[in-house]
Amino acid sequence: MRVLIASTGGHGHFGPLLPFADALADRGDDVLLAVPPELEATVAAGRHAYRLGAAAPREIWARVSELSLQEQSILGNREWFGRLCVEAMLPTVEALCDDFAPDLVLHEAAEYASAIAAHRRGIEHIQVAVSQAEVEWGSLDIAAPVLPADVVAALRASPYASHFPASLDPSPYPHTHRYNDAPAVASSRELVYVTFGTTAAGLGYEPYRAALDAVAGLDVEVLMTTGADLDLGDVPANVRVERWVPQPEALARASLVVCHGGSGTVLGALAAAIPLIVMPMFDDQFANARALEAVGAAVVAEPATLRAAILAPPPPAHDLARELRAAPPPLTALRRAR
């Protein structure tokens, strides 16, 4: 089987597709990735064939900090994912649908160009969740004015594979299939792991400085990852700052995770039953934080309350960890979706 896998870029959006790509390739299927130039170094270092599309112009993000949450959502979902990313990638994925002739197109839920190309050609397409189902259903509502109406309807009805547990993430998609791709992690519980993902560095240093101030002087070892080279000023003696550490490696030592509420970090910590403190900053992170807090799986903090939260962390969410681990592997979910 020939499978075209498409992403808009960014680790949080591309990462959920990789377990499917690896499992399909292990089975002997012909896998081809379609990604923007920002992912070239990542895919070039990997095992799969790939084609690069054009880069969407990023200038719109310069004003994101000036916008309300509603305006940020329109900027991200409609202007960025719905219009600019589609305009940048559509010529490439249309050409690949014609030349590579995939039997299946697999795309992350915010990547619409390949869904447009596949729908126009009658090619089966399945979407893979990046965030909670209700968030992505709502994101499609926001993007809909700049997307073809028939494609929006097709996306509503198409299979939807999610790594979120159902108890945390009730889904409006009629054909939702849960899967688990989190590696088994047994943590030595020796440090606090602080991460705000790979994109927060572009929004300023405030969350990193707040976290450094919160852990300063505590009798605990701290690992902080930044996703970029940042000048954070004075770093407390108990903190090690790294640009990047593979998440399984960090979680294998963590007794507590302090994060932005990004889906990949949250699900990795939940699967390992590691307590979570969430300090959301934008987009779906607020929805993730609310859902986690509602079921007692995390404490939601602000910079002013972060130190107190670290000193009194929540208990591990063992029920969610068991639910996550009980979900089938990606290929089983994919088989059920088809």
Mean pLDDT of the chain: 94
- pLDDT in the model for residue 184: 72
Span 205-214, mean pLDDT? 89
| Higher local confidence (pLDDT), 198 or 226 | 226
Domain spans, the chain? 2-158, 191-324
Percent of the chain with pLDDT over 90: 85
- pLDDT in the model for residue 85: 99
Q: Assign 51 a pLDDT band (cuts: 50, 70, 90).
A: very high
Span 175-179, mean pLDDT? 98
- Say yes or no to pLDDT of 204 above 80: no
- Say yes or no to pLDDT of 182 above 90: no
- Say yes or no to pLDDT of 202 above 80: no
Q: Assign 200 a pLDDT band (cuts: 50, 70, 90).
A: low
Domain 191-324 in the same topology as domain 2-158:
yes
Span 109-124, mean pLDDT? 99
- pLDDT in the model for residue 205: 61
- pLDDT in the model for residue 66: 87
- pLDDT in the model for residue 63: 84
Span 290-303, mean pLDDT? 95
- pLDDT in the model for residue 10: 87
Q: Which CATH class is domain 2-158?
A: alpha beta
| Nearest-angstrom CA–CA distance, 281 and 70 | 13
> What is the tens place of the pLDDT at every residue in 18-47?
999 999 999 999 999 999 999 999 999 999
- pLDDT in the model for residue 287: 93
Span 247-273, mean pLDDT? 94
> What is the tens place of the pLDDT at every residue in 156-168?
999 999 999 999 9
Is CATH 3.40.50.2000 the classification given to domain 191-324? yes
Q: Assign 189 a pLDDT band (cuts: 50, 70, 90).
A: confident
